Structure 1
Amino acid sequence: MTSLLIADDHPLFRAALRLAASESLPECELKEAADLAAVFDALQAAPDIDLVLLDLHMPGSHGLSGLAALRGQYPGVAVLVVSAHDEPQVIRRVLDHGAAGFIPKSASPGEIGEAIQQVLNGGHWLPPHLAEAVAALPADRTDTDLASRLARLTEQQYRVLTLLAQGMLNKQIADRLNIQERTVKAHVTAIFEKLKVRNRTQAGMLLKSLELGEPGRLA
């Protein structure tokens, strides 16, 4: 049975996505998550999930960071980004970070169903009115390189990176994640090596580069 995970922190929009998905695939199994931690919990419990419908902004994920983490930890799971950020430059970045397609939040239920079907069949999907503008933009080497580096992080290392980027000290990170401080130090060393950075500031700046401004305005 096909299995979908709807990841969005707005209950009404999750309901809209659930309705569109169930109409397109009446026999599919639908799961929901309201934050990034719940997304990882769901995938850990059911790694055979076929597709994640991922909002770019929800607790634990700001901009492209959740997508980057998800693609890094579960590269075999297809991801369709669902967002109000429908600028061609943002969509281009979404694709560069490994998404199989992009659904604007203004999409009709029919378009959502079409996107889901196309991606589950191994294809890609973009809104027809934006596809040409996105195709005209070249892939950004900065994004593709960063996606490759972030993909090397473990799930726990990504959590440490997120807290590190918030300015937390090793002891604070250890307390938050309920791990030993020496374990945090080991993770930080591994993060620097995998991301090819020299210090906490550079690591934080890399993560910050994945943030997006408010919908309708580029970051």
Structure 2
Amino acid sequence: MSGQPAGPSGLPTPVRVLIVDDHPLYREGLRGALRTMAGIEPVGEAADGAEAVRLARELAPDVVLMDLQMPGVDGIDATRTLCAARPGPAVLALTMLDEDETVGAALRAGASGYLLKDADRAEIDRAIRHVAQGGVVVGRGVAGGVRRRWAEPPPDPARMAFPDLTDREREVLGLVAEGLTNAAIARRLHLSEKTVRNNVSVVFAKLGVRSRSAAVATARDAGLGAAR
């Protein structure tokens, strides 16, 4: 996992977190815990799913800590709405519910991770940073069958088509194939534009192509990106 992208000052940019939970005391405690974590910044709080969607649009957090069982719009529906946005925040479910059906529903809705509320600070800290970088986290206390099923991702066609590329390089190639510019890719992946340019150059070299259009054609032939 790469480090946090640097801001204009050259210092790492904090991971911006929106807290969503219908219990004020839990939100208060979680906010206090996040403030003790270096490089993590709580930027807002919501008491239900509808407010979470509204605040996410206003505040543009990197990660949303999402309770699932809330009045009105619940966490599953809010997660589905947030994850349909492109670009959108990573959603990390933080809940008391550990039934297989609920875990699966949250992950199918697009959540990048699932933790139980008895997770300690260190586990929450690691999970936030991991999903902010595009990773997937399923907590230690989550129902065993679902955890095993979701912790072991299916074979990646891009990995098989481009075995010489790293995971990050395949991710960058996929976004190039979607037609994104380097600047747009940098925003999507929370990287500096210089880092993206370097990744693109390495990808071109490994693919043996000299132009972006040739890279796009190669990627789309392998099933990446949008169809022509």
Task: Calculate the TM-score normalised by the size of structure 2.
Answer: 0.53
From 23, 47, 55, give the equivalent of 2:67.
Answer: 55
Matched, 1:32 2:18: no
User: 2:19 maps to what in 1?
Assistant: 6
User: 1:46 maps to what in 2?
Assistant: 59
Amino acid at match of 1:50: D
Q: Deviations over 1:52-88 (max 9, x none)?
A: 0111122322362222222224652100011111123
User: 1:202 maps to what in 2?
Assistant: none
The gaps in structure 1 that reach 5 residues or longer are: 139-219
Post-superposition offset of 1:116: 0.9
Structure 1 outlier segments of 4+, above 3 Å: 129-132, 135-138
The gaps in structure 2 that reach 5 residues or longer are: 1-13, 151-228
SS at match of 2:138: coil
Q: Which moved more, 1:65-74 or 1:32-41?
A: 65-74
The residue correspondences of 1:64-103 to structure 2 (distance < 5 A) are 64-73=76-85, 76-103=88-115
SS at match of 2:94: strand
Q: Deviations over 1:150-189 (max 9, x none)?
A: xxxxxxxxxxxxxxxxxxxxxxxxxxxxxxxxxxxxxxxx
Are residues 29 and 6 of structure 1, via their aligned partners in 2, closer, same or farther at CA, if it must alter by over 3 Å?
A: closer
Q: Is the 8 A contact 2:34 2:40 kept in 1?
A: no
Amino acid at match of 1:116: I
Are residues 89 and 41 of structure 1, via their aligned partners in 2, closer, same or farther at CA, if it must alter by over 3 Å?
A: closer
SS at match of 1:118: helix
User: 1:104 maps to what in 2?
Assistant: 116
Q: Is the 8 A contact 1:2 1:50 kept in 2?
A: yes
Are residues 3 and 88 of structure 1, via their aligned partners in 2, closer, same or farther at CA, if it must alter by over 3 Å?
A: same
From 129, 132, 143, give the equivalent of 1:120.
Answer: 132
SS at match of 1:5: strand
Give 1 or 2 for the bigger CA radius of gyration: 2
Are residues 59 and 65 of structure 1, via their aligned partners in 2, closer, same or farther at CA, if it must alter by over 3 Å?
A: same
> What is the aligned residue count?
138
Post-superposition offset of 1:124: 1.2
Task: Calculate the TM-score normalised by the size of structure 1.
Answer: 0.55
Q: Which has the higher contact order (CA 8 A, sep 6+)?
A: 1
